[in-house]
Structure 1
Amino acid sequence: MLQKYKNFFSILIQWIFFGSIIGLIVGSATTLLLEVNDFLGDDIRSKRDWLILFLPFGGIIIGYIYMKYGKVFSNNTLNDTAELNNLVIDTVHGKKEVPRRMGPIVYFGTFITVLFGGSTGREGAAIQMGGSVAAAVNKFFKVNKLDKKILMMSGISAGFGSAFGAPMTGVVFGMEMAALGKLRFEALVPCLTASFVGHYVTTAAWGHKHEEFIIQNVPEVSIIIFMKVILLTLIFSLISVFYCQLRHGIQIYSEKLFKKNHMKRAFAGGVVIVVLTLIVGSQDYNGRGLEMLQQSFQEEVPPFAFFAKLIFTAVTLGSGFVGGEAIPLFFIGATLGNALHTLVDLPISFVAALGLIAAFSAGANTPLAAFLLAMEMFNGEGLEYFFVVCLVSYLFSGHHGLWPSQKIYAPKSRLYNLPPGETIENVEKQKKRIKQNE
């Protein structure tokens, strides 16, 4: 019995140690990501509209880096860093390995994308840096195969928690991201340690301040309001699914058209973004769009802002530029809510918040993490509504999502006859084959 307790505390201390190391490094690296992105986006690009003209050439640089340095063979398996978050998820499942160079590469690519006006976010780079750091810790300490997967989840937790100032969300997101319908609670301690350490390193040690979104007024709980919220959630879920399908469709088409030449794909995508920017006549939908995102909680924004951001982001990321997809989804959901608030006669900030969380939950397939994000982001306001929003958006989005490598361990409905452990990508392929055979 005494030996069991010794083993338990030995493993516990080990998890806390590894989680702390990952949190310290990822928290510092994420602070660098956030500060540099703010500088490039707010201090340089926003004051120099002409930089958008260089986006296609920035795409060539990004493509060259990924083609020249982004592919690493290990154990007779190709690990392509251009797969971004999908490579991190495959590593959690033990199918591939994240190269240590992935973090620096995605950071540099994100900086170029933001500087020249590509529409992107930041959590993707933070998660991939987290995976890169976890891979380095695994290699340095010669961690066994099973524990490697757990530390990889800790890297995800540290990246997300520090990127958004939401440590509780980061804990669950690391355990929930890789698979639908399954939580790896054995990773709880290292994920919790990594996420909270990463968060406090970013905010307390380095003093970074995250954006704030405030709900001005939450309606009283009633059946009518719940019905309106559910109806809105269905709309938010559909727009999230549409974004995911369009983004992946552009990626598949561009890879086929340019024979997976990353340089040509990104150059062409950059040209399309430049043309779209000239057509729109403003750069509100380039970069991260944080200013309009915050504005959507306070006053009315252009009614089709959500659709413009959807197109800009799908083209940017689908053609090979890099960054995150959470902030674009926040933007899409919040601005769509902003456009719909008068139709349902609900407060503008409340509906914007519903859209932000619903779009993220539907796209990421992480309802528990999305609920915790709502609690941390909005200080616990509207708890009952957000709980329903996260569940409904998760269920109604079907087996679609941002990351095709996510495994479906439990189908969202009995109507889907899926074998356990199937990926979203394979499910999509099966659907296409069925349609072709009909």
Structure 2
Amino acid sequence: MHLLIRERTAEVQIRVKGDLKTAKGISLHADQAERLARAMYTGLATVKEATYNPLSFQDAQIAGYVLPRSGLTSVRIIRGPSWPAESGGGFLVARLQYEGTRREIDPCVARAAAKRLKLATPERPSGEFHLGRMGFTPLQVALIERIMRNPQGIFFVTGPTGSGKTTTLYEIMMELARQYPEQRLITIENPVEYPIQGSLQLSTESERFGEMLRMALRMDPDTILPSEIRGVEEAIAAFQAAQTGHRVPTTLHVNDPYEVFARLAGLDHVRLAPAMIAHHRLIIGLMAQRRVPILCPHCSVPLAQSGRRLPAYLLSALRTWGDLATVRARGDGCEHCDGSNIAHEQAIAEVVVTDEVLMHAVREGDVLRAARKHRAKPGADKPMIEHAIDLVFAGRLDPDDAEQKVEPIPVKELQ
């Protein structure tokens, strides 16, 4: 049973046959729900901390004899603050432990409860999947959807600070909430940046991420999003969550999606070695992302007329990719772009759906060869820099910006 306390109202949800259902017959104001949580903790729990603290995460247990005729041997409780915590937000999750056959349940109690609850599928959030508008290609959107349809496994979104990882994960979590309103989504953030309807959002200090991840496993989750993996403890906790049947999208600060394996091994070369983690049902996807400035179409100028001097190596590399006549550069700015010479920013990315062949090559230790073979597969995404080069030759991205925001433009390899 889940008690979700928001700013003004509260909601009771019950997991029935694997799916969360909203108890429509129970209407609670936030203050009523808070009193209910306090009463369950202080009045019914037989194993608990001495003091109820609304702003702390607390465990408790209600013995079965406290709830006669229920058929319960015990009720395990975890409760604490959740978004919007500053306005009284919180949660209580009660895991009901029944006798093996449940024959001790009083039928009168069961009928009365069923009549009162009026269970229904939780409200589905409105909106659409906006990754395409953010700059992701149709292939990338399809690959991300394929990754997130996996019910368990880790999806690493990588990139430096400011590359748009958080915004992308927010869009993914919103789409999961729309597709699977009957599932519990939990985020662990520092702090909560975007509200996600229907989810439990927990705020904590970065040094407690590993502890919070392990705690979230006791909150009846389907998806757990730790906003960032920084250290060994949260990395191991994330893999434990994936191994126990949970979907775990998260971020990691590396530049290339295939650098994930070296970064994790650097945290713990034994427990996080490729031999231990490089399995396609454990790591289900990888993605690298950047944000690049798109030229204002009204004031951008042909590269040859820009008056800027690009280094010889860059011009030489560009010529291996196409005709420089289509390449444009930043202009002086105009009224359409408020003098910025930039129309907007958009995401560019590389999305990798892992498979057995890729992960076997990673375990063998040749990650570069594994990446090349995977990128050559039909239906696979191409490197992020090649998406940037496409924008350069479409006249939408200054080649200097492509290098500054992504990586140096390479010489095109002969096929």
TM range (shorter): under 0.3
Q: Flag the structure with larger Rg.
A: 2
Higher strand fraction: Structure 1 or Structure 2? 2
State TM-score, norm by structure 2: 0.24
Higher helix fraction: Structure 1 or Structure 2? 1
Structure with the larger RCO, 1 or 2 (CA within 8 Å, 6+ apart): 1
